[in-house]
């Protein structure tokens, strides 16, 4: 549901504000998220979203677990931010669940714990590059917002944003790796087709 809401919001923002305003909006949202985290209001936002999505007792326990997981992971990451935390699972034994696993339900945290901020940057770079290229194409067709070109670019940017938000709240398993691969390869191939053919 969160992914669907993000996709719908991105589509609305692109159609009403254009690509340049959308880029500024994304930067603003990221800065706001950092400020909320620093100030300590992120838990209020998470609880509010959980309530909106109809979380019962099990849902609230899941939110609490994810919040505790985030706090523990951030504390570990601060000790070794650039290249990951060696044997990070040893420091997270209090988060083991009934199945005996530490359910690292945030793909970004898993990447940072394994490979640090350097690894996270390398992971996100293809998505950022492709989304930026799609948004640049939208800027060039600003006079034709209903063209096939703008529809394709709009929808792929929305899917990229929604998928990145979704893996913030889940592990990358099952169909997600395939979907993330498609969100890189299909727009890459399509953008290549738009390039002028050599003489």
User: Residue 138: how many CA atoms within 13 Å on its side-chain side?
Assistant: 29
Burial class (CB in 10 A: 0-12, 13-18, 19+), 153: buried
**Average confidence (pLDDT) over 172-178:** 80
Lowest mean pLDDT among 30-34, 52-56, 96-100, 158-162: 52-56
pTM above 0.85, yes or no: no
Distance (Å, rounded) from C-alpha 149 to C-alpha 139? 11
Q: Is the pLDDT of residue 14 over 80?
A: yes
Average pLDDT in the 72-77 region?
79
How confident is the model over 104-154, as pLDDT tens digits? 777 888 888 888 889 999 999 999 999 999 888 876 655 544 566 778 888
């Amino acid at each position: 549901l969160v992914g669907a809401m993000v996709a719908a919001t991105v589509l609305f923002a692109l159609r009403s504000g254009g690509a340049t305003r959308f880029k500024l909006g994304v930067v603003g949202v990221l800065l706001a998220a950092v400020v909320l985290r620093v100030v300590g209001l992120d838990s209020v936002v998470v609880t509010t979203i959980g309530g909106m999505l109809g979380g019962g007792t099990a849902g609230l326990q899941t939110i609490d677990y994810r919040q505790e997981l985030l706090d523990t992971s951030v504390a570990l990451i601060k000790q070794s931010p650039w290249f990951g935390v060696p044997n990070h699972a040893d420091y997270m034994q209090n988060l083991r669940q009934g199945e005996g696993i530490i359910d690292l339900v945030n793909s970004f945290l898993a990447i940072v714990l394994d490979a640090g901020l350097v690894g996270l940057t390398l992971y996100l770079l293809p998505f950022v590059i492709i989304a930026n290229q799609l948004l640049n194409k939208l800027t060039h067709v600003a006079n034709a917002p209903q063209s096939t070109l703008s529809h394709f670019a709009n929808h792929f940017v929305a899917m990229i944003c929604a998928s990145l938000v979704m893996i913030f709240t889940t592990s990358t398993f099952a169909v997600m790796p395939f979907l993330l691969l498609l969100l890189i390869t299909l727009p890459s191939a399509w953008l290549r087709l738009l390039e002028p053919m050599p003489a």
